[in-house]
Amino acid sequence: MAIVKSSTSKSFRTTLRYASEKSTALLFTNVPEALGDPDIDEIASSMEIQAASNSRCEKPCYHISISPSRDQPIKREDWFDLIDNFLELTGFEKNQAIAYLHEDTTYSNGKPRPHAHLIVNRIKDDGIAIDTSWDWYRFQSAMHILEKQLGWQSTPYSWEMDRRSDPSSFVQRYRKELAKYERGDRDQPPKPSKRSQFANAVEQAIEQAIDAQNPTLQGVEHYLASQGIEVIRSREHVGWAFKDNEDFYFSGSQLGRKFSLPAVNKILKARSRQKQKPQAEHLPALNNQHNLAKVLTNYAKSRAKVYGGKYTDPIESTLGTVKVQADRVLISNKFEALKNQNSWVVKKDELTERDKKWIASMPQTPESYVKQNRGKKILQTLKSLAPHEFNGSKGAIRWLDKNQKIDCKFHINRNSQLDVQISGFDTTSHNPIFRGTIANNGAILIHRCEIPSTAVSDLIEYADQARSPKPQHQRELTPCKSTGTGITELEL
């Protein structure tokens, strides 16, 4: 949808001078003084005389900018009809108005972004001032109708969108500050907007409640409280709002449609009706050394079947070199077990409990090994594309691949042991599809990966293109972008 912004001021003269000086064309006017060889002072005087008929209106000058999106091309001759219809749909058709074309900004691809500056007198001929209280909604409704008239692809109203976006000015500033941080010119990464911080917290609260097998509103509220966010229910319990320690306040609907209380409740109820999640692969007892040797043997055999080698080939790991033979299992100088008939006898064990837990979680079948390897590639690629999301205590990445029908969001959290825990979920169904851990020693463990290999291949190709030294316009794919919401978006 086209971007429509507005502001009110006292001075017609200053606003008209700004709009006319950068103008490349006069698009519309119903002010006679603007015709022929217009003089800005004469136009401003005409509008000031009209505004003087209402002494109670302190800011009669209404400045509206209309900027079509990149996929909404408009010819110069069509601007008059767009402005004329916009004024009629918004109730300004009888007010003095003049519009100028500016072409001094560009889209992200470097092409000029034409936009109109519309100056409207809020005071009508009868001295009544137009109320501007609900114009944000009125303007979007008008543009929704005009999109259809112009044959543009219709987009939903912002209040109908699942998640409301931040203003473009904030997004641009956020990207500049992030670029400074990545160059080392800034000590701390920029913070996302308060709206995005609240939205991210609610999304994480939903996932935490689901992961904890407590998909209830109380579960969501409990997690938000732990993050210093107070939940305020409406008197009839049909809506809710959120307030943090700094007294910033957002209602659910202000964050986006999916954050309203009925929408969140619907997500949670759908999850509670689902069948119980399949249990994870049975892990051996950590204190059973016989099982640890068996796990390492099964892991080596599964790996060999996938790669086509021998299971006795040495395997380099974060614990050291793993050597598995028919009658012996060895991990560098930390662990050694010898096989005695059908059981293993441990000769040396200097593994920590953390090491043993890691071994116990190793994949035990070729299928689970493939899934583990696929998950590792995902994490390694995501980390290479958006390293800043993994550097702090929290991060978030959205991965959208329209060809593979992938739209998932990853929440990234660093725990007290400095391990990075990553959970991914489908943004439509909110079903968990990924869970992994990057240990503080760099080891990667995948607990869940339901993302198809074709999508992973596309992601790796995307990363190769993003790192390509070719100029931007010659690349096949667009590199990832930071939206200012605290989320890095990867759109393939």
The rounded distance, in Å, linking the Cα atoms of 210 and 431 is 9
Q: Are 283 and 361 in contact (CB under 8 A)?
A: yes
Tokens of 465: 């293109």
Q: Residue length, the chain?
A: 492
Please report the pLDDT score of residue 473 as a whole number. Answer: 43
Q: Which of 351, 385, 370, 356 is nearest to 468 (CA)?
A: 385
What HEC string does the chain produce? CCEEEEEEECCHHHHHHHHHHCCCEEEEECCHHHCCCCCHHHHHHHHHHHHCCCCCCCCCEEEEEEECCCCCCCCHHHHHHHHHHHHHHCCCCCCCEEEEEECCCECCCCCECCEEEEEEECECCCCCECCCCCHHHHHHHHHHHHHHHHCCCCCCCHHHCCCCCCCHHHHHHHHHHHHHHHHCCCCCCCCCCHHHHHHHHHHHHHHHHHHCCCCCHHHHHHHHHHCCCEEEECCCCCCEEEECCCCCEEEHHHHCHHHCHHHHHHHHHHHHHCCCCCCCCCCCCCCCHHHHHHHHHHHHHHHHHHHCCCCCCCEEECCEEEEECCCEEEECCCEEEEEECCEEEEEEECCCHHHHHHHHCCCCCHHHHHHHHHHHHHHHHHHHHCCHHHHCCEEEEEEEECCCCEEEEEEEEECCCCCEEEEEEECCCCCEEEEEEECCCCCEEEEEECCCHHHHHHHHHHHHHHCCCCCHHHCCCCCCEECCCCCEEEEC
Q: What angle do CA 398, 483, 5 make, to 5 degrees?
A: 135
The rounded distance, in Å, linking the Cα atoms of 227 and 20 is 50
Instruction: Report pLDDT digits (tens) over 65-79.
Output: 998 877 777 888 889
Instruction: Walk along the chain (492 residues) and give the pLDDT tens digit of each residue.
Output: 577 888 999 999 999 999 999 888 999 999 998 888 888 999 999 999 999 999 999 999 999 999 887 777 788 888 998 999 999 988 899 899 999 999 888 876 778 889 999 999 999 989 999 888 777 768 877 888 888 787 776 655 554 456 777 777 787 787 788 777 767 788 877 788 888 889 888 888 887 787 667 788 888 998 899 889 999 998 777 889 999 989 899 998 888 888 889 888 887 876 666 534 444 444 444 445 558 888 888 888 888 887 777 888 888 887 889 999 988 999 988 889 888 877 888 888 888 887 887 888 788 888 888 888 889 999 999 988 888 888 888 888 888 887 767 888 898 888 777 788 898 888 777 677 888 888 877 788 888 888 888 888 888 888 887 766 554 444 344 445 544 455 787 776
Buried b (16+ CB within 10 A) or exposed e, 421-450: ebbbbbbeebebbbbbbbeeeeebbbbbbe
Phi and psi torsions of 219, nearest 5° = -65, -40
Residue 361 identity (one-letter amino acid): S
Q: 63: left (phi > 0), else alpha (psi -120 to 50), else beta?
A: beta
Domains of the chain: 3-155 (3.30.930.30), 169-273 (no CATH), 289-360 (no CATH), 368-491 (no CATH)
Task: Specify the pTM.
Answer: 0.44
Positive/negative CA dihedral, 103, 105, 111, 117: negative
Name residue 8's beta-bridge partners.
62
Please report the pLDDT score of residue 480 as a whole number. Answer: 52
The rounded distance, in Å, linking the Cα atoms of 41 and 16 is 9
The interaxial angle of helices 194-211 and 261-273, nearest 10 deg, is: 20
Q: What angle do CA 174, 433, 380 make, to 5 degrees?
A: 60
Distance of CA 280 to the CA centre of its chain: 29
Please report the pLDDT score of residue 30 as a whole number. Answer: 92
